[in-house]
A and B are shown apart, each in its own frame.
Chain A
């Protein structure tokens, strides 16, 4: 049981490049989300999904796309990287089935855009 996994751990992009951050969970959680964390700020929600085929925008969605074709996977796509997207990105999953709503996080991807 790996929990929530993310790849890559580190990435450096040039301005204008695109890439996909991968996230997978093996806990059969229906809810998955992407956050970014910047110094001095709390985690901010980028996009989230309440199940396969259903996604919605969070607080800071601009410049990012998501899709959820399976319960397990929730990739985050950067369309045209900008220096303002330099951040640490965390994927998280949780389940409402148990009623606890506890979120579990992946180890993060540290992205630098030059």
Chain B
């Protein structure tokens, strides 16, 4: 089993739709969780950290479920500009090791 797993997609959704991605992780000692956005041939950019109580930033909501070992990202009112690959990243407790998922591709269609 991969340490961090994501559905590669692509998720094709119309503008204005709500879309959700999940990411599962295998190491229960994982400490910190992040969602990054990566546009084609560009560097990953931090979208948001994921906190235990869940957190929201505008149209984006992140949730953490430690019991089931997954994190989720919800995007409301999708925009064309949301089209990108979304990377799930997990940092192990007590280390500086970050594990990246292979990403979920999102295409928002006009």
Does the CB pair A43–B43 fall under 8 Å? Answer: no
Instruction: Tell which of A31, A33, A42, A48 touches B101, judged by Cβ atoms closer than 8 Å.
Output: A42
B64 at interface, CB cutoff 8 A? no
Does the CB pair B42–A107 fall under 8 Å? Answer: yes
- Shortest beta-carbon distance from B87 to chain A in Å: 7
Does the CB pair A90–B44 fall under 8 Å? Answer: yes
A50 at interface, CB cutoff 8 A? yes
A11 at interface, CB cutoff 8 A? no
Give the size of the chain A interface in residues (CB under 8 angstroms).
26
Does the CB pair B46–A102 fall under 8 Å? Answer: yes
Does the CB pair B49–A100 fall under 8 Å? Answer: yes
CA distance A108 to B42 in the complex (A): 7
CA distance A76 to B31 in the complex (A): 28
**25 intermolecular pairs with C-beta atoms under 8 Å apart:** A31-B96, A33-B96, A33-B98, A35-B100, A41-B102, A42-B99, A42-B100, A42-B101, A42-B102, A43-B87, A48-B96, A58-B97, A88-B41, A94-B96, A101-B31, A101-B32, A101-B91, A102-B46, A103-B34, A103-B46, A105-B43, A105-B45, A107-B43, A108-B42, A110-B41
